[in-house]
């Protein structure tokens, strides 16, 4: 086994001599993820703030000033659009206005005679501001109606309870945070699997087929090291590099959650102010990546990816050792990317976590379990089964590659 360690040492030393790869594997993720998450949080917060504090521009046709007189009060969140408009749908899609309201001429008489007023509201559901404005105006009208109704009931000596045979109070167990968790749970396994395979592939092809191509393998093969030791050392090296890469990714993701979390914290103060100004808007979403990207979830993810890394290393070593050039090796390894891609895409499909047999499907179960780790649906036995299956599978692959590579012409094509 000592020989294998020596080979591992050499490969790792060789790896550190390549500054570009070193930077890409070790430091790039540290910059990438915090930036990514930071931007993600900032944008979604900005967006929600924009929606909650913004003023809805309304083009109104209300010649007798019935609705206008109450709608455009100071701080109502509505603003009258005074220019004349030819094409309302166009103005809506260009976001010149967010709503267009038509009030009938004789509305006042209707109120007096207790007949409903036919209010016509035009909005563009594809525009956030327009849709938001629509919800706002609905609420505004409802509130206003409620006041009128209470007045009418008082006249009849009734209370508003008559309108409410049932009263519902709603408790929401998930919020915006869970939504983001879901999103992260969706893309993270996909991202991790691909980056792990691609990283292992690049390095693996280099130290197997690449060594052959550059003519250095021969000098290794004529030392007293056995082929098995050389192979073991190289497999360990591919394994180490891929795990190092993935560990850096996960650390960066954790850090990303931390910075984004702090951003969100800072934003929450701003938001309370914003809420006070805005009228009739629902509670803005609070996003706290720190509570999604917990150290536990990240460590458990790493725990699953370690045996998977071994599996990838065995596959890549087997292909690389039997290829004559890096090109040939890459051609043979690319189908692996497609398989990983397919598994990743599968993990993106909604509702798959409901399939009961999924924890027993190797590789697939990894993506699902990782996803559940970040959406608060973690199930211990599923994790253990997945871990066990991946360990078994990687052990089997390592054994198989050992057999394939012990053939005479496996390394030194004759």
Q: Which is nearer to another protein, 68 or 208 (CB)?
A: 208
Q: What span, in angstroms and rounded, lies between the C-alpha atoms of 313 and 315? A: 5
Residue 6 C-beta: closest distance to another protein, Å = 5
Q: What span, in angstroms and rounded, lies between the C-alpha atoms of 341 and 369? A: 17
Q: What span, in angstroms and rounded, lies between the C-alpha atoms of 21 and 18? A: 6
Burial 293-324 (b: 16+ CB within 10 A, else e): bbeebbebbbebbbbbbbbbbbbbbbbbbbbe
Q: Which is nearer to another protein, 195 or 229 (CB)?
A: 229
Residue 413 C-beta: closest distance to another protein, Å = 10
Q: Which is nearer to another protein, 62 or 213 (CB)?
A: 213
Q: Which is nearer to another protein, 202 or 386 (CB)?
A: 202
Count other Cβ atoms within 10 Å, centred on residue 214. 12
Residue 7 C-beta: closest distance to another protein, Å = 8
Residue 408 C-beta: closest distance to another protein, Å = 6
With CA atoms as reference, report the closest residue to 200 among 244, 159, 154.
244
Q: Which is nearer to another protein, 166 or 222 (CB)?
A: 222
Q: What span, in angstroms and rounded, lies between the C-alpha atoms of 225 and 233? A: 10
Q: Which is nearer to another protein, 221 or 404 (CB)?
A: 221
* Six token digits for residue 230: 């050389």
Residue 410 C-beta: closest distance to another protein, Å = 12
Residue 5 C-beta: closest distance to another protein, Å = 10
* Six token digits for residue 338: 């497609």
Q: Which residues contact 17 (CB under 8 A, 6 or more apart)?
A: none
Residues that bind another protein (CB under 8 A): 3, 6-7, 9-10, 13-14, 17-18, 214-216, 218-226, 408, 412, 414
């Amino acid at each position: 086994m000592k020989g294998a360690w020596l080979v591992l040492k050499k490969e790792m030393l060789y790896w550190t001599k390549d500054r570009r790869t070193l930077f890409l594997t070790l430091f790039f993720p540290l910059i990438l993820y915090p930036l990514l998450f930071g931007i993600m949080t900032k944008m979604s917060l900005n967006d929600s703030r924009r929606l909650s504090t913004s003023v809805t521009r309304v083009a109104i046709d209300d010649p007798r000033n019935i609705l206008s007189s109450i709608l455009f009060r100071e701080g109502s969140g509505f603003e009258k659009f005074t220019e004349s408009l030819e094409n309302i749908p166009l103005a809506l899609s260009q976001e010149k206005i967010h709503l267009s309201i038509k009030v009938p001429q004789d509305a006042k008489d209707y109120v007096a005679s207790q007949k409903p007023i036919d209010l016509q509201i035009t909005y563009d559901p594809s525009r956030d501001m327009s849709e938001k404005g629509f919800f706002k105006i609905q609420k505004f009208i409802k509130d206003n109606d409620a006041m009128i109704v209470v007045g009418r009931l008082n006249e009849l000596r009734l209370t508003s309870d008559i309108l409410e045979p049932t009263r519902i109070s709603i408790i929401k167990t998930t919020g915006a945070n869970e939504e983001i968790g879901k999103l992260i749970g969706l893309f993270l396994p996909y991202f991790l699997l691909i980056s792990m395979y691609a990283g292992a592939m690049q390095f693996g092809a280099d130290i197997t087929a690449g060594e052959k191509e550059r003519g250095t393998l021969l000098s290794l093969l004529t030392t007293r090291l056995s082929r098995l030791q050389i192979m073991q050392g190289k497999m360990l090296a591919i394994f180490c590099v891929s795990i190092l890469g993935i560990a850096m990714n996960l650390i960066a993701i954790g850090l990303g959650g931390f910075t984004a979390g702090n951003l969100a914290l800072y934003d929450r103060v701003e938001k309370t102010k914003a809420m006070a100004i805005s009228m009739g808007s629902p509670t803005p979403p609070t996003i706290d990546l720190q509570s999604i990207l917990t150290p536990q979830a990240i460590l458990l993810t790493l725990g699953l990816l370690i045996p998977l890394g071994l599996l990838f290393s065995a596959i890549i070593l087997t292909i690389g050792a039997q290829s004559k050039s890096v090109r040939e090796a890459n051609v043979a390894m690319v189908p692996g990317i497609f398989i990983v891609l397919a598994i990743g895409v599968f993990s993106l499909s909604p509702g798959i976590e409901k399939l009961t047999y999924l924890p027993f499907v190797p590789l697939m179960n990894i993506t699902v379990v990782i996803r559940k780790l970040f959406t608060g649906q973690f199930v211990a036995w599923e994790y253990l089964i997945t871990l066990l299956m991946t360990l078994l599978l990687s052990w089997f692959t390592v054994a198989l590659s050992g057999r394939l590579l012990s053939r005479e012409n496996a390394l030194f094509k004759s």
